[in-house]
């Protein structure tokens, strides 16, 4: 067998985690997106520039907004990482099921 009992146990433990890491990552992404929008709006409205394009450029080049967008990007990375881990755990369990079904079928043939 290519899938060990420890692999299956780890996959089940990961999938059964409550709150699930993917849900936490999704929450953190939402918080980061909201913070980035709030930061942009506050910087845009407080800008002394006269045109909307200049206010937008001023807000987008502010270090506080850049940091908020970096936090948002980090949250996206974390969410995608957990999506990938969830999919991998599901695939591992599917392989394990197939291996066990094949083993049972081979025993019946004997």
What is the tens place of the pLDDT at every residue in 43-67? 999 999 999 999 999 999 999 999 9
List C-alpha distances in Å: 106 to 41, 97, 100.
65, 14, 10
Residues spanned by the domain of 97: 5-109
How confident is the model at residue 107, as a pLDDT? 85
Spatial distance between the Cα atoms of 62 and 58, rounded to a whole number of angstroms: 6
Mean pLDDT of 57-78: 98
What is the tens place of the pLDDT at every residue in 81-108? 999 999 999 999 999 999 999 988 888 8
- For residue 65, the Cα-to-chain-centroid distance in whole angstroms is 22
CB distance 49 to 85 below 8 Å = no
Quote the number of domains for the chain. Answer: 1
Kindly tell me the sign of the dihedral angle through the C-alpha atoms of 23, 85, 79, 28: positive
Q: Report pTM.
A: 0.85
Mean pLDDT of the chain: 95
- Mapping DSSP to helix (H, G, I), strand (E, B) and coil, where does residue 51 land? coil
């Amino acid at each position: 067998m290519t899938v060990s009992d420890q692999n299956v146990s780890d996959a089940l433990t990961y999938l059964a985690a409550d709150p699930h890491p993917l849900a936490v990552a999704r929450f953190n992404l939402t918080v980061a997106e909201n913070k980035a929008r709030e930061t942009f709006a506050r910087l845009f409205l407080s800008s002394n520039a006269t045109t909307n394009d200049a206010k937008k450029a001023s807000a987008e080049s502010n270090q506080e907004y850049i940091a908020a967008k970096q936090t948002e990007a980090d949250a996206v990375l974390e969410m995608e990482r957990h999506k990938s881990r969830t999919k991998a755990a599901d695939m591992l369990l599917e392989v394990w099921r197939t291996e066990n079904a094949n083993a049972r079928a081979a025993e019946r043939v004997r």
